[in-house]
């Protein structure tokens, strides 16, 4: 019997070649279902019975979200409603019983068969992930060869959300005792606040993430489009299914899944045509690493509100333990700031569990790409102004007053 990984490889090769029958003879129907129907499964999938001995389970010990429960018979129950996709349980399992779900096979099928447009929305951390010689323009050309209609950099929607959060800061922080927690970017940070520190939700602006903003924008402009987000994060797979966000993003792939697809094609990434320059600002691209959101919002607040009496003072944390410590400081009154940014992975998105390059390399590649941008902040971004015009906003000020397309309501 083929293992799940071997079955995945064979089915992916057949799907990429557009074979009519992609399921090998004798394949386990349960494993085929995991790959063909990923929406029917949680972020973490058990591929065989747990074989840990005793009542100590590494996966349970490392889970910060109460998603792994030890049952009386010694088995593990995975609560999909609590799991955020941090992958700590998978990393802790020495027997490779657990794996992350894969969404790639349905995406490849749609690239061959869907009659409408299919857009690839790539997270800001993509720089350098597929090799130092693979630029954004080369990646765009390669994605088009795979069948995507076009590649859209999610960093431009980071610019959109920077504007939104900067306006909310200037409106809500009326004195130095008030504070705001960013709602952008990291679904683990938001899950932590919602699940464990919900008393802080009134301090979280109701903004969607750049991923959701990108998906909603594409579907507002192209109602029959399918949207595929591609990034280093498993938690984005969960975020895309949140009830108040569902529908913006049809599929979430990781960089590793996209690399798997390139590995079964004859596309030479390094020798693709150049097809673009950055459309986002330097600070929007900087959402990929820890501290980037705070920097973007701070610079934009200063541009929007020159001469204001309130000083923007940020604190940032990366990694779940440090994010918890930051929130506990806030609750204890030891704030020492009025804008707080949290990212669940060490280093930020460049340190995500499905990143291909080490986080230090990823951060340097993102910074280098950001320096290529013509714009420092979203306030100068001409592409952003053009996008807002297409959405029906004649000025940035009008967008800031009527941007309900990018709102969300926290329970």
List strand residue ranges (DSSP E) for 296-406, in order: 314-318, 339-343
Read off the pLDDT of each residue in 187-202 and give the average, rounded to a whole number: 92
Res 151: pLDDT: 96
Res 115: pLDDT: 96
Read off the pLDDT of each residue in 78-102 and give the average, rounded to a whole number: 89
Q: What is the pLDDT of residues 144-172, one digit of tens each?
A: 999 999 999 999 999 999 998 998 898 88
Task: State yes or no: pLDDT of 184 exceeds 80.
Answer: no
Read off the pLDDT of each residue in 14-41 and give the average, rounded to a whole number: 94
Of 150, 406, 399, nearest to 279 (Cα)? 150
- The rounded distance, in Å, linking the Cα atoms of 230 and 220 is 20
Task: State yes or no: pLDDT of 306 exceeds 70.
Answer: no
Which letter does DSSP use for residue 207 in this model? B
Res 13: pLDDT: 97
Q: What is the pLDDT of residues 47-86, one digit of tens each?
A: 888 878 766 788 999 998 889 988 887 778 899 989 988 8
Query: Does the CA dihedral 229-230-236-238 come out positive or negative?
Result: positive
Do 292 and 127 meet the contact criterion of CB atoms below 8 Å apart? no
Res 307: pLDDT: 56
Question: Hey, which residues does 302 pair with through a beta bridge?
Answer: none
Res 95: pLDDT: 86
Higher pLDDT: 279 or 176? It is 279
- The rounded distance, in Å, linking the Cα atoms of 376 and 25 is 55
Q: pLDDT > 70: what percent of the chain?
A: 98
**What pLDDT band is residue 8 in, cutting at 50, 70 and 90?**
very high
Res 55: pLDDT: 67
**What pLDDT band is residue 43 in, cutting at 50, 70 and 90?**
very high
Res 54: pLDDT: 65
Token pair in block for residue 147: 């069948």
Task: State yes or no: pLDDT of 270 exceeds 90.
Answer: yes
- The rounded distance, in Å, linking the Cα atoms of 145 and 266 is 10
Task: State yes or no: pLDDT of 140 exceeds 60.
Answer: yes
Q: What is the pLDDT of residues 307-327, one digit of tens each?
A: 567 789 999 999 999 999 999
Res 353: pLDDT: 92
Q: pLDDT > 90: what percent of the chain?
A: 71
Average pLDDT value over all residues in the chain: 92
- The rounded distance, in Å, linking the Cα atoms of 362 and 388 is 30
Q: What is the pLDDT of residues 399-410, one digit of tens each?
A: 777 778 899 887
Res 363: pLDDT: 97
Task: State yes or no: pLDDT of 292 exceeds 60.
Answer: yes
Helices and strands of the chain, counted as H and E runs: 17, 11
Task: Give the chain's domains with CATH numbers.
Answer: 4-101 (3.30.70.20), 102-411 (3.40.950.10)
Do 209 and 185 meet the contact criterion of CB atoms below 8 Å apart? yes
Do 408 and 208 meet the contact criterion of CB atoms below 8 Å apart? yes
33: Cα separation from own chain's centroid: 25
Query: Does the CA dihedral 292-294-296-302 come out positive or negative?
Result: negative
Backbone angles phi, psi at 408, to 5 degrees: -140, 160
């Amino acid at each position: 019997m083929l293992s799940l990984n071997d079955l995945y490889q064979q089915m992916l090769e057949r799907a990429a070649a557009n074979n009519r029958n992609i399921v090998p003879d004798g394949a386990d129907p349960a494993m085929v279902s995991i790959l063909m129907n990923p929406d029917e499964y949680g972020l973490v999938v058990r591929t065989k019975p747990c074989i840990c001995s005793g009542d100590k389970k590494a996966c349970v010990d490392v889970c910060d979200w109460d998603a792994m429960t030890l049952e009386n018979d010694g088995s593990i129950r995975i609560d999909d409603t609590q799991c955020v996709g941090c992958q700590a349980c998978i990393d802790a399992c020495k027997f490779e019983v657990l794996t992350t779900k894969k969404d790639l096979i349905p995406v490849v099928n749609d690239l061959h068969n869907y009659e409408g447009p299919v857009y690839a929305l790539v997270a800001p951390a993509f720089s350098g992930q597929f090799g130092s010689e693979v630029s954004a323009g080369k990646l765009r050309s390669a994605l088009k060869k795979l069948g995507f209609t076009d590649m859209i950099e999610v960093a431009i929607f980071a610019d959109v959300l920077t504007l939104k959060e900067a306006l909310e800061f200037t409106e809500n922080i009326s004195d130095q005792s008030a504070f705001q927690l960013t709602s952008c970017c990291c679904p683990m940070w938001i899950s932590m606040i919602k699940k464990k520190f919900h008393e802080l939700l009134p301090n979280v602006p109701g903004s969607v993430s750049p991923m959701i903003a990108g998906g909603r924008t594409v579907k507002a402009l192209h109602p029959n489009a399918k949207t595929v987000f591609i990034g280093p994060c498993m938690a984005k797979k969960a975020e895309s299914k949140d009830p108040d966000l569902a529908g913006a993003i049809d599929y979430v792939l990781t960089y590793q899944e996209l690399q798997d697809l390139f590995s079964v094609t004859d596309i030479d990434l390094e020798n693709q045509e150049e097809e673009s320059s950055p459309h986002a600002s330097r600070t929007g691209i900087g959402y990929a690493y820890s501290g980037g959101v705070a920097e973007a919002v701070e610079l934009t607040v200063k541009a929007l509100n020159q001469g204001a009496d309130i000083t923007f003072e940020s604190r940032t944390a990366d990694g779940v333990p440090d994010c918890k410590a930051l929130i506990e400081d806030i609750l204890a009154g030891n704030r020492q700031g009025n804008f707080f940014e949290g990212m669940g992975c060490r280093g930020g998105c460049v340190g995500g569990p499905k990143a291909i390059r080490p986080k230090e390399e990823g951060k340097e590649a993102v910074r280098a790409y950001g320096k290529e941008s013509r714009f420092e902040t979203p306030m100068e971004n001409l592409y952003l102004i053009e996008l807002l015009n297409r959405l029906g906003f004649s000025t940035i000020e009008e967008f800031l007053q009527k941007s309900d397309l990018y709102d969300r309501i926290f329970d």
